Amino acid sequence: MNDEIPMGRKIINHDAPHILRPDLAVIANNVRAGATALDIGCADGALMAAMRDQKNIDARGLEINAANVSAAVARGLAVVQGDADSDLAAYPDNSFDFAILSQTLQTTKRPDLVLDHLLRIGNQAFVSFPNFAQWRIRFAHMFRGRMPVTKQLPYRWYDTPNIHHVTIDDFRTFLKERDIKIEGEWFLSGNKLRGGGMANLLAAHAVFLLRR
């Protein structure tokens, strides 16, 4: 699945005018052209705009922050202000080819229920999250006895929106218990793709493509 981008290659070009976050670049590169997609937690619509412009995708967004929604709507995207925890029930079954949840899972009250909705609304689902088992985080915990503040998780313990930290191995276990199929997986260190070996220890970020 991840053969579109060779391992270790930079997947974003920092000279490009629209810089896409690495996990979003993975999704944009692997979503099927011409498909429909719901981007949950779409922020200012960067991924939606890239998918529209590069892959002719009919994308809709859900975003909790009003300023982000304003920015996205003003760039011509269809984005609804709402909360993944409470508003996904309004979307019918199988209404999109892809449901996308990027760096939002760890901020939801009930990630399990949000994932249920994701796989109900989309035929397939992209999920990306920062890996809480990465060595830097383990290091902060083990040797400094402090909650980690990293590039992926740049918040202090008291003001973080991230309330359900998850590791790659936790996530795999969850998928297995729920009988959810993995159709693709990508692991990131910074803006570089890396192999799956020891991903739980080494990868800062993971992207999964799932199907019920």
Partner 1 sequence: MAAYMDRAQNMDEKFGLNRKVRLLGPLTLSNGAQFAPLEFAYESYGTLNEARDNAVLICHALTGDHYVASTHPLTGKPGWWTRMVGEGKPIDPAKYFILCINVLGSCMGSSGPASIDPGTDAPYGMEFPVITINDMVAAQAILLDHLGIETLAAIVGGSMGGMQALAWCTMFPHRVKSAVVIASAARHSAQNIAFHEVGRQAIMADPNWQSGGYYHGDARPSAGLAVARMAAHITYLSEAGLTEKFGRQLQDRESKSFGFDADFQVESYLRHQGISFVERFDANSYLYITRAMDYFDLAEPHGGNLAAAFHGTKTRFCFISFDTDWLYPTSESRRIVQALNAARANVSFVELPSAFGHDSFLLDNPDMNRIVAGFLEAQQ
Listed ranges 2-10, 60-68, 129-137, 199-207: which one lies at the site for partner 1 (CB under 8 A) = 60-68
Q: What is the DSSP letter of 141?
A: I
Measure the CA–CA gap between 120 and 180, rounded to whole angstroms. Answer: 12
**78 contacts partner 1 (rule: CB under 8 A):** yes
* CB nearer to partner 1: pick between 78 and 198: 78
Nearest C-alpha neighbor of 186 from the set 15, 7, 60 = 7
Binder of partner 1 out of 81, 123, 160, 189 (CB under 8 A): 81
Measure the CA–CA gap between 58 and 34, rounded to whole angstroms. Answer: 7
Residue 156 and residue 147 in contact, taking contact as beta carbons nearer than 8 Å: yes
* CB nearer to partner 1: pick between 99 and 207: 99
**69 contacts partner 1 (rule: CB under 8 A):** yes
Instruction: For the chain, give the number of residues.
Output: 212
Listed ranges 81-89, 122-130, 142-150, 168-176: which one lies at the site for partner 1 (CB under 8 A) = 81-89
**170 contacts partner 1 (rule: CB under 8 A):** no
Residue 177 and residue 112 in contact, taking contact as beta carbons nearer than 8 Å: no
**1 contacts partner 1 (rule: CB under 8 A):** no
**77 contacts partner 1 (rule: CB under 8 A):** yes
Binder of partner 1 out of 29, 55, 87, 170 (CB under 8 A): 87
**79 contacts partner 1 (rule: CB under 8 A):** yes
Binder of partner 1 out of 55, 82, 136, 175 (CB under 8 A): 82
Measure the CA–CA gap between 111 and 85, rounded to whole angstroms. Answer: 8
Measure the CA–CA gap between 73 and 53, rounded to whole angstroms. Answer: 15
Measure the CA–CA gap between 52 and 35, rounded to whole angstroms. Answer: 10
φ, ψ at 60 (rounded to 5°): -120, 155
Tokens of 177: 């218990």
Binding mask 90-109 for partner 1 (x = CB under 8 A): xxx--x--------------
Binder of partner 1 out of 9, 17, 33, 66 (CB under 8 A): 66
* CB nearer to partner 1: pick between 64 and 207: 64
